[in-house]
Chain A
Amino acid sequence: MIGYETTFILRADSSEDQQKALVEKLKSIVKSHDGEVIAVEEWGRRRLAYAIKKETRGVYTYLAFTGNNSLVAELERNLRINEQVLRFLSVKLGDDFDPTKFKRSPSPNVATLPSPVVEA
């Protein structure tokens, strides 16, 4: 199985339910394609480095999984349909990816990300 990671940004005004629903939907797509979800990380609401569709803040979610290329295509198709999604990025982690060797990258922790946005 090939390892992938997908990060997507939702509009800052999207509700927690919308985010959860999307994550669940993506998870079920991964399972239906015989893939395996390795990690789901919520980076939370943070300031974007530049405005996307006039939005200056976004909700980041990170998803690591194994699967094949048709799975990635299906996930991205769903992300494109959803109007709450500002942007997404899929990156291949490697061929013959071993999920047990997945290391939580040191980056998504709060210290290395741009300053989190305090809820108004």
Chain B
Amino acid sequence: MFERDNYSEKKYGADRGEDEGSSNRRSFHRKKVCRFCADNKIVLDYKDVRLMQSFMLDFGTILPRRVTGTCAQHQRKLTVALKRARQLALVHYSESHNLIDSRF
């Protein structure tokens, strides 16, 4: 969705033949802040299913830092926590696991 907004903005600038189209586009970029650095009340815990799910796609992919804005230190801890949550069947490994699940 965000991508699409950027695109239309670019097109608009191009239609008007303005050079600052690209700089306008850049101004739309919101600086992402690591959630764990911003709020030290958040406990990074593999048992917190809601928190784990917020850093992965519905079908199980762990979101990269460039998407979530998590800092390097916290991303390292986060990936470990996510993999622990997967081991305990709190979150998915992949979508194909769900399909096996739904057959029964």
Smallest Cβ distance from B39 to chain A, in angstroms?
13
Residues of chain B lying within 8 A (CB to CB) of residue A49: 86, 89-92, 97
Cβ contact within 8 Å between A91 and B45: no
**In the complex, which range does the number of interface residues on chain A fall in?**
20 to 34
> Is the pair B88, A9 in contact by a Cβ cutoff of 8 Å?
yes
Is B72 at the interface (CB under 8 A from chain A)?
Answer: no
Contact of B45 among A56, A105, A114 (CB under 8 A): A105
Report the tally of A-B residue pairs with Cβ distances under 8 A: 63
Given A105-B43, A105-B47, A112-B48, A56 and B88 contact (CB-CB distance below 8 Å): no
List the A side residues contacting B67 at CB < 8 Å. Answer: none
- A54: chain B residues at CB < 8 Å are 104
Q: Kindly state whether residue B100 has any CB partner on chain A within 8 Å.
A: yes
B98 in the interface, Cβ–Cβ < 8 Å?
A: yes
- Given the known interface contacts A89-B87, A91-B84, the answer about A107 and B92 at a Cβ–Cβ threshold of 8 Å is no
CA A114 – CA B50 in complex, angstroms? 8
A108 sits at the interface (CB 8 A): yes
Q: How far is the CA of A46 from the CA of B93 in the complex (A)?
A: 18
- Chain A residues with CB under 8 A of B93: 50
Q: Which residues of B contact A117 (CB under 8 A)?
A: none
Determine if B104 and A56 form an interchain contact, defined as CB atoms under 8 angstroms apart. yes
CB of B37 within 8 A of chain A? no
Nearest chain A residue, comparing its CB with the CB of B81: A91
Query: Are A113 and B49 in contact, with the CB atoms below 8 A?
Result: yes
23 A-B residue contacts at CB 8 Å? A7-B88, A9-B89, A48-B101, A49-B89, A49-B91, A49-B97, A50-B89, A50-B93, A50-B100, A51-B97, A51-B101, A51-B104, A56-B101, A105-B47, A106-B43, A106-B48, A107-B43, A107-B45, A107-B47, A107-B48, A112-B50, A112-B51, A114-B49
Q: Please give 14 more A-B residue pairs, beta carbons under 8 A apart, in addition to A9-B88, A49-B89, A50-B89.
A: A7-B88, A49-B92, A49-B97, A50-B93, A50-B97, A51-B100, A51-B101, A56-B101, A105-B43, A106-B43, A106-B48, A108-B47, A112-B48, A112-B50
